[in-house]
Amino acid sequence: MYFTSKLPDVGTTIFTVMSKMAQAYDAINLAQGFPGFDSDPKLQQLVTNAMSEGHNQYAPMPGVYSLRERITDKINTLYGSNYHPETEVTVTAGATQAIYTIVSAFIRPEDEVIVLKPAYDCYEPAVQVHGGKVVPIQLKAPNYRVDWKAVENAITPKTKMLFINTPHNPTGTILEKEDMLELQRILVGTDIILLSDEVYEHIVFDGKHHESVARYPELRKRSFITASFGKTFHNTGWKMGYTVAPKELMQEFQKVHQFNVFSVHHPSQKAFAEYLKEPSHYLELNDFFEQKRDLFLNLIKGSRFKARPSAGTYFQMLDYSEITEEADTAFAKTLTQKHKLASIPTSVFNLNQQDFKMLRFCFAKNDETLKRAADILTKI
């Protein structure tokens, strides 16, 4: 049987590769971005209660209304926006599904989509499988700041969409107010849709504030925001997230969503609707993960790795250029096989796999795991 692949250059994700290698070599897994601790037992009990109460059939297509109310209340309170739960939010099977559905709803063959690299690996295949053209703009190590002039110059009459991600995976950087104002200036007068991946919105450090697209009316009216309950509440395996957007955009999103997903896990939605009534469940995450970051960085102070402290997310980039000239993909394998510590080589996310000698480590682990990992790093 003959066929032509729509994604001929896509193979197994680096997350799967490195996690499989970590398992094979019995290595500490600081590669894949999942927490090394359980979600709140209270939240787990709320899911159990929802199942016991009979919420086991299809949820409404956009999501349980009480959850949509909690989501819009949260966003509107935090960012001064005015999203409406009836028409401007959809509960999704994680942020990745939301991103894919957004692209499906709007990208046609030959449409151009600007992607800032390094970029999370689900962005570009979603564009390519729908016949769109990715227009990559490389961010440079070590600060990975956005060159907004380059973004402006990349815009053409064919530009349909622009991706941003803040806090940023894999670099741990954040967009500041001046970035958002510059982005707003660039997009005024265009019909470009902005897709803002904000799954780490509640993990921002050093007294900074998350600069959500929702704060900026001129950006908000053209934007989808995607978010993740899995990242926020330590249960990535539940695959629960949501997206918000103006009514006109959300109508198009739901046309696709109703056929590729329809609705997501009903008991979890009921549980989150109750759990979100207490804002401390997400507002305390900044301090929690900042302590994890600081512990990890303090523990590796004596190592030959160089670090710029992560400004957000639960990832820390480490520069190993003083240790070896090996490619990051090769050094990540060496670190896993020989030293029993798995990380993510970040060149795989860069334009032309440009190698800045940087590895990404996940510090969303218990303190003992971080201490064991740091002991390895300080001995290399």
The enclosing domain of 369 has a CATH number of 3.90.1150.10
Mapping DSSP onto H, E and C, the string for 301-330 reads CCCCCECCCCCECCEEEEECCCCCCCCHHH
**380 residues of the chain, pLDDT tens digit each:** 999 999 998 888 898 899 999 999 999 999 988 888 889 999 999 999 999 999 999 999 999 999 999 999 999 999 999 999 999 999 999 999 999 999 999 999 999 999 999 999 999 999 999 999 999 999 999 999 999 999 999 999 999 999 999 999 999 999 999 999 999 999 999 999 999 999 999 999 999 999 999 999 999 999 999 999 999 999 999 999 999 999 999 999 999 999 999 999 999 999 999 999 999 999 999 999 999 999 999 999 989 999 999 999 999 999 999 999 999 999 999 999 999 999 999 999 999 999 999 999 999 999 999 999 999 999 99
Q: Is residue 366 in some structural domain?
A: yes
Q: Which domain holds residue 324?
A: 14-32+284-378
Q: Is residue 137 in some structural domain?
A: yes
Q: Per the omega criterion (within 30 degrees of 0), is the bond before 246 cis?
A: no
- Please, which residues have CB within 8 angstroms of residue 17's CB and are 6 or more apart in sequence? none
Do residues 107 and 62 both lie within one domain? yes
At 6, phi and psi to the nearest 5? -80, -15
Do residues 134 and 264 both lie within one domain? yes
| Domain endpoint, select from 279, 307, 341 | 279
Do residues 88 and 217 both lie within one domain? yes
Do residues 19 and 117 both lie within one domain? no
Single out the residue of 199, 200, 365, 372 nearest to residue 291, CA to CA.
365
pLDDT value of position 202: 97
Rounded Cα gap, residues 215 and 177, in angstroms:
10
Do residues 206 and 142 both lie within one domain? yes
| Domain endpoint, select from 226, 261, 279 | 279
Q: Is residue 37 in some structural domain?
A: no
**Looking at residue 155, which CATH number applies to its domain?**
3.40.640.10
Do residues 114 and 28 both lie within one domain? no
Do residues 22 and 60 both lie within one domain? no
Do residues 301 and 219 both lie within one domain? no
Do residues 234 and 94 both lie within one domain? yes
Rounded Cα gap, residues 219 and 125, in angstroms:
25
Q: Is residue 26 in some structural domain?
A: yes
Do residues 255 and 300 both lie within one domain? no
Q: Is residue 65 in some structural domain?
A: yes
Q: Is residue 88 in some structural domain?
A: yes
How many structural domains comprise the chain? 2
Do residues 307 and 344 both lie within one domain? yes
| Domain endpoint, select from 240, 257, 279 | 279
Q: Is residue 253 in some structural domain?
A: yes
**Strand (E) positions, the chain?**
28-29, 89-92, 112-117, 133-138, 159-165, 193-197, 223-228, 241-244, 315-319, 341-342, 344-345, 358-362
pLDDT value of position 29: 96
Rounded Cα gap, residues 101 and 105, in angstroms:
6
Q: Is residue 38 in some structural domain?
A: no
Its pTM stands at 0.96
pLDDT value of position 13: 87
Residue 114's DSSP bridge partners are 135, 162
Residue 362's DSSP bridge partners are 315
Do residues 289 and 164 both lie within one domain? no
